A = this chain, B = another copy of it.
Amino acid sequence: MRMTEVSTKFEISQDTLRYYERIGLIPPVNRNKSGIRDYTEEDLRWVEFIKCMRNAGLPIEVLIEYVGLFQKGDETLEARKELLIEQRTQLLIRMEDMKKVFERLDYKIERYEQTIRKKEKSLTRSEN
């Protein structure tokens, strides 16, 4: 599969795809005889995985490390697992923070609604 197609499929710009590959965020992609990228099924899985993880806010640096470990083979299984556990923990912490903020926003919105209702009522009265 060519860049254009991959780019549309995952909604990642071609520049970003090349950038990701350049910095090692996805493993080197296969090329045809004239040097043009031809994404295999596995390449696509990497792209999808990286997109998904980035979307959840995992730092590029960490993902580069993961890809690097992966390419070193089976000796790094344990290290990769530990890396993922750490990221899962971080993610959970962020989700908990966000939940608190969500509730706070909820409360603030509620209070705005009350205030606005009161304002409206007092306006109506003054019109009479």
Contact = CB atoms under 8 A, between A and B. Distances in A.
Interface of A: 52-53, 55-58, 74, 77-78, 80-81, 84-85, 87-88, 91-92, 94-95, 97-102, 104-106, 108-109, 112-113, 115-116, 119
Contacts of A112: 77, 80-81, 84
A116 B56 contact: no
B81 A105 contact: no
Given A56-B102, A84-B109, 6 more contacts: A57-B98, A58-B101, A77-B115, A81-B112, A88-B109, A95-B95
A98 B108 CA distance: 24
A84 B108 CA distance: 8
Pick from A52, A58, A98 the residue with the most CB of B within 10 Å. Answer: A98
A95 B98 contact: yes
